[in-house]
Amino acid sequence: MVISPPRPKRSAQPAVPAAPGVVTYAADSFSRTISGGWGTADLGGSYTVDPIPSDFSVDGVMGKMAAAAGASSKLAELPGVSARDVDMLLRLQTDRLAIGGDQYAYLTIRRVSGGNEYRGQVRLTPSGQVGLQIRKTVGWTETAVAPEGLVPGLSHVANGFIWVRMQVVGSPTAALRMKAWAAGQPEPVGWQTEAADSTVPLQGPGDVGLRVYVGSSSTAGTVTFGVDDLLVTSPNGTLGQSQSIALPVQQPADPTPTGAELAPNEQPTRSAGLVYIPFTVLSLPNG
């Protein structure tokens, strides 16, 4: 790993501070310059990257992961973090539109060991839509905890940041929540997808990270995922108590990868077909 002196940070938006009284487990502005890894976060310790360090870098603006179609997923995690109840926020982009196949990013929370974690999946489609789904992996077998929902009004564009937030709270039944919105726009009041899960191995503390994958049918070439303004905290006591937004649910045309494309013996479970659930549009603040 090669580390260069830090350079001034350039960001489309200032980093979001934690609310008063909230414990911050990790934070990263990615203002350093590194090749062959992600180095050490501003708070939260050093990253472990897998499987190929040369696919990871930090350019002083964001952390990057390069992923080719159908190759093994890439993972950057913070093993020094150990927390059960977590609120995870970051900005995400890719340098190419999805062509021929989907692009995937996963916020990983309560990663208690390899093959055991909750995943907040962000799916970027060739039509520019953004889908959210809460998933879990236990013993390297991945299944959906809730149906995927497409976020109304949110589009994926090359090099355009999307804010993603995920919260996992509680035990022996965990409440899991996600939302996403375009950079420069106000955060939605409600959560866009929610679920509950009581899987025993995932009800204790674990680390956090980010995983990415490009669908095997993609013809976009090597896709570089960019991550910025990472913030991992304990949940604010009032966060998530507002009303939720039920999203239209759709079965992806390019399903989440299975088998060795993610990790040994991972076999995501998906139901077939296309189902739409009515959603409520909230009146959100401007600015």
- Residue 127 located in a structural domain: yes
Whether residue 163 is predicted with pLDDT greater than 70 in this model: the reply is yes
Whether residue 263 is predicted with pLDDT greater than 60 in this model: the reply is no
At 236 the pLDDT is 81
- Residue 237 located in a structural domain: yes
Confidence of residue 264 (pLDDT cuts 50, 70, 90): very low
Q: Which residue has the higher pLDDT, 243 or 192?
A: 192
SS3 201: helix
| CATH number, position 28 | 2.60.120.200
- Residue 274 located in a structural domain: no
Q: Tell me the chain's radius of gyration from C-alpha atoms.
A: 17
- Residue 283 located in a structural domain: no
Beta strands in the chain (DSSP E): 2-4, 24-28, 33-35, 48-50, 56-59, 63-67, 74-83, 86-94, 103-113, 116-124, 129-138, 141-144, 149-155, 162-169, 174-182, 193-197, 206-214, 223-233
- Residue 269 located in a structural domain: no
Tens-place pLDDT, residues 107-162: 999 999 999 999 999 999 999 999 999 999 999 999 999 999 999 999 999 999 99
- Residue 12 located in a structural domain: no
Number of folded domains that form the chain: 1
Whether residue 215 is predicted with pLDDT greater than 90 in this model: the reply is yes
- Residue 275 located in a structural domain: no
- Residue 95 located in a structural domain: yes
- Range 176-186 average pLDDT: 97
Domain region containing 209: 2-7+22-250
